[in-house]
Structures are given as C-alpha cells and as structure tokens.
Chains A and B, each alone.
Chain A
Amino acid sequence: MNLYESPALRAVTGPAIRPGGLTLTARAAKICRLPMGSLVLDLGCGSGATVRHLRQCHGLRAVGVDLSWPLLIEGRREDASIALVQGRAEALPIADGRIAAIFSECVLSLLSDPMALLAEWRRVLAPEGLLVVSDLYTRAGCCTPVPASAPSHGCLDGVMPQEALLGLLHAAGFTVMLWEDHTPLLKQLAARLVWEHGSLSAFWEAAGFGCGGGRSAAGGKPGYFLMLAAKGGADRG
C-alpha cells in the first residue's frame, strides 16, 4: 500500500488527499481562467475528488490519471461517468498537445526523475498550456531536520528547494507565472494527523511506514507551495 491509499491519512484528509484538500485546486482554477469545456488533466487523481470538483465547480472537461488501482476503482464506483484512467505520470496515455492544463498536486515530489516527468507533461500540453503544481518543498533558511519519525520513503523523497524547482521548470521549457507559499496548510494537516493519531510517529506507524530514522529533507523543514506555469513563454497576466 502506498501512503495515499492509507486509511490513516485519508481519514484525516478526506477524498482530496493533500494539504488543504481542494482549497488550492479551486484557487488555481480561478486564476487560470480556462474557457468552459477545456480539457484538463488531474495527474494523481486518486478516487477523482479533484476531477469532480473541476467539472462541477469550474465547468472544465476534467479527466484523471493515477497509478493506484484501488483508488481508481473507488472513484469509478462513486461516479462511473467520469474518466479515471490508470497510467504512469511519466508515460501518460494521452496524445500530444491535447491538454489545456495539468493539475499535479502532491505528485512531483514523489517521483525520482522530475525532468522526465516535466518532458512528458510538456508533450501532452497544448501550446501555451498551463501547469498547476502544489507540492512540498524545502523552505529556505530552515536547517532543522524533519522529525525523526518521517519515513524513508513517501512524500519527502523528492522534496527540493524553491530555486531547484524553478530551475527544473525553466530547463523543461516552462515559464513560471505564480509561486505562493502555503505552508500553513501543511502545518494544519500535520497538526490534525497528530491530533488524530497521538503523534506523527504514531501516524507513520498507522500508515504502515514505520519509523524512518531521522532522515532530513535536503537539510530543511518541508513547506508547501502552489505554482502556476505555462508551456513555453506564454504570459496570460
């Protein structure tokens, strides 16, 4: 079982399995100002909470891709009319240039080859297509290691500082239009997990990850960000 399938996490986050739930999704969709009916992809869709939100609240033609078969099945049981497809983020089952916007929330930091991932996202995005990313990052000036209870795999593997992330986006041919820190949402989730499970250590145990032994996320505390980027040099203001 991966962390996102864990009942210990999902009982606290609800169906949108990330800090803030749908808060940043809604904010990003509003900023993007995509025309009604635009084809958008939720990458790492899980059981489809974001896909349903983008369809129902923003009038977008949203589809979802996720690796987790159990979560996809759960989503299809809830609403068989939405397209939730099993696939890898680095090899999307989508033709070139078809997607108006990709929503990727808590996905980039999970994968080992972010450049390959960004190249694949660039492939499926339409010209001037948009990329919405919310994820963990290493906060500048924070040199305190993450808690010793953090697991040696899961959400913290690919966490990078802001500068490194922006460099990757630029190298992959994206223009970053917005970067916002939303670390309070991460703190709120961590606090709720502690409240529910008694401690972060107890949460990781309940999630089936055990204790990771004091690993640090690139030597800093994790933060949470929302970023909006465009394929190429587009400027939508």
Chain B
Amino acid sequence: MKPENETVWSDELAWRCAACDRPLELGQVSVAYMNNSFTTEMPHCPGCGLVLVPEALALGKMAEVERILEDK
C-alpha cells in the first residue's frame, strides 16, 4: 500500500521533470515569501529540485498566505 501522502499527491506524482526526464518524488520543500518560510511536503524533481505547485495549492492556502503577508 502507498503511504497516505503519496495517494493524496498521486496526480502530481504522475508527472516527469521535462528537463531531467525523471519522475517527481514527494519530499520536504521550503517555501519562502516576504521573510517567512514554510516547510511542507511537495512533489519535486530529485534531479534539479524543481517543485511542482498544484493549482489548488497556489490558489488556495498559498494565495491566502500571500494576502495576509502583503496586508491586502
């Protein structure tokens, strides 16, 4: 059985890195914005480190964090 997180990210983990031609892996990623950093598990390329940010994440909590930090 796959770990729960891999099941949640199953769509994203089906992608391959265009530059390295390697399948994405789930791992700890540090996201920094306006002197704040947050660590989270996200799909990324094990070769070049490029992170795939799913649309739901970008338009969801990432957008809300941006609005708070930007005082909007």
Say whether B40 contacts A195, CB under 8 Å. Answer: yes
Say whether A187 contacts B69, CB under 8 Å. Answer: yes
Q: Known: A194-B61, A195-B61. Is A187-B38 also a contact (CB below 8 A)?
A: no
- In the assembly, what is the distance between CA of A194 and CA of B40, in Å? 13
Say whether A188 contacts B36, CB under 8 Å. Answer: yes
| B8-31 with Cβ < 8 A to chain A | none
Say which size band chain A's interface belongs to.
10 to 19
Say whether A200 contacts B38, CB under 8 Å. Answer: no
Interface majority SS on A: helix, strand, loop or mixed? helix
Instruction: Determine the chain A residues whose CB is within 8 A of the CB of B69 once the complex forms.
Output: 187-188, 191
| A161-187 with Cβ < 8 A to chain B | 187
Say whether B60 contacts A191, CB under 8 Å. Answer: no
A82 interfacial by beta-carbon distance below 8 Å: no
- Chain A min CB distance to B51 (Å): 15
Closest to B38 in A: A195
Say whether B71 contacts A198, CB under 8 Å. Answer: no
Instruction: Determine the chain A residues whose CB is within 8 A of the CB of B68 once the complex forms.
Output: 187, 190-191, 194
Instruction: Determine the chain A residues whose CB is within 8 A of the CB of B71 once the complex forms.
Output: 187, 221
One of B36, B40, B61 near A199 (C-beta < 8 A) = B61
Say whether B61 contacts A198, CB under 8 Å. Answer: yes
A61 interfacial by beta-carbon distance below 8 Å: no
Q: Known: A187-B69, A187-B71, A221-B71. Is A192-B64 also a contact (CB below 8 A)?
A: no
- In the assembly, what is the distance between CA of A138 and CA of B36, in Å? 23
Instruction: Determine the chain B residues whose CB is within 8 A of the CB of A192 once the complex forms.
Output: 36, 38
- In the assembly, what is the distance between CA of A137 and CA of B25, in Å? 44
- In the assembly, what is the distance between CA of A200 and CA of B65, in Å? 10
Closest to B57 in A: A198
- In the assembly, what is the distance between CA of A199 and CA of B66, in Å? 12
Instruction: Determine the chain B residues whose CB is within 8 A of the CB of A191 once the complex forms.
Output: 36, 38, 65, 68-69
Instruction: Determine the chain B residues whose CB is within 8 A of the CB of A187 once the complex forms.
Output: 68-69, 71
Say whether B36 contacts A200, CB under 8 Å. Answer: no
- Chain B min CB distance to A114 (Å): 27
- Chain A min CB distance to B10 (Å): 19
- In the assembly, what is the distance between CA of A194 and CA of B36, in Å? 13
Say whether B38 contacts A199, CB under 8 Å. Answer: no
Say whether B60 contacts A195, CB under 8 Å. Answer: no
23 contacts between A and B (CB under 8 A): A187-B68, A187-B69, A187-B71, A188-B36, A188-B69, A190-B68, A191-B36, A191-B38, A191-B65, A191-B68, A192-B36, A194-B61, A194-B64, A194-B65, A194-B68, A195-B38, A195-B40, A195-B61, A195-B65, A198-B61, A199-B60, A199-B61, A200-B64
